[in-house]
Structure 1
Amino acid sequence: RGLGVFEFNTPGPLIPLWLILLWALLATTLRHCLAWSSRPWWLASLLGAVGGPLSYYAGSQLAGVSFAYGTAPTLIGLALLWAMLFPLLHGVAQRLEH
């Protein structure tokens, strides 16, 4: 919301509750359901580059979220972001485990 990338139909300063819950769900599955994608690192990067933008696109279609910068540029940006972020999140999850 703050950067103006996503335009939500719900008013308020925060992102919608359903999106907050999706983030919480991702955090709880990293060390269990998604553990297979942590090694090698490029697998996590590939999954992030594909799965991240697809998740946001699906959410936009289901919940009426629009992309302020257009669909293609936003999905490309999300792919680049999640390609870097997903391996990093796996690393954090593994460090917390030990």
Structure 2
Amino acid sequence: LWLMLLWALLATTLRHCLAWSARPWWLASALGAVGGALSYYAGGRLAGVQFPYGEAATLIVIGLLWAGLFPLLHLMARRLAP
């Protein structure tokens, strides 16, 4: 339940609280890479999860994914705004 609420919170804050991170695009990318990897790291520690490919490799891949995803989410939020 708390993970679903975190996703909903992220979606609602893109146009308001996180609007400062949308421009320049590299800021959104850096925030996505660091914030995404750290949130998965913290969640893994809290839940006692072991990453199957090792912690460092998994967090690097997650960081790279979020580095591309976060600017894309900002772009989608901007285009879907009224």
Pick the TM interval, shorter chain.
over 0.9
Name whichever structure is richer in strand by fraction. Answer: 1
The alpha carbon displacement at 1:56 in A equals 0.6
Over the matched positions of the two proteins, sequence identity in percent amounts to 77
Identify the residue that residue 71 of structure 2 maps to in structure 1: 87
* Residue of 5, 11, 22 corresponding to 2:6: 22
Larger Rg belongs to: 1
RMSD: 1.0
Q: Name the CA distance, whole Å, in 2 between partners of 1:32 and 1:66.
A: 34
Q: Name the CA distance, whole Å, in 2 between partners of 1:74 and 1:18.
A: 22
The alpha carbon displacement at 1:85 in A equals 0.2
Name whichever structure is richer in helix by fraction. Answer: 2
Where does structure 1 differ by over 3 angstroms across 4 or more consecutive aligned residues? none
Q: Name the CA distance, whole Å, in 1 between partners of 2:23 and 2:4.
A: 27
Could you report, residue by residue, the CA deviation over 1:76-96 in whole angstroms, capped at 9, with x for unpaired residues? Answer: 001110000000000001111
Count of residue correspondences: 82
Superposition TM-score, scaled by structure 1 size:
0.79
Could you report, residue by residue, the CA deviation over 1:28-84 in whole angstroms, capped at 9, with x for unpaired residues? Answer: 111111000000100000100111000110111112222111100100001110000
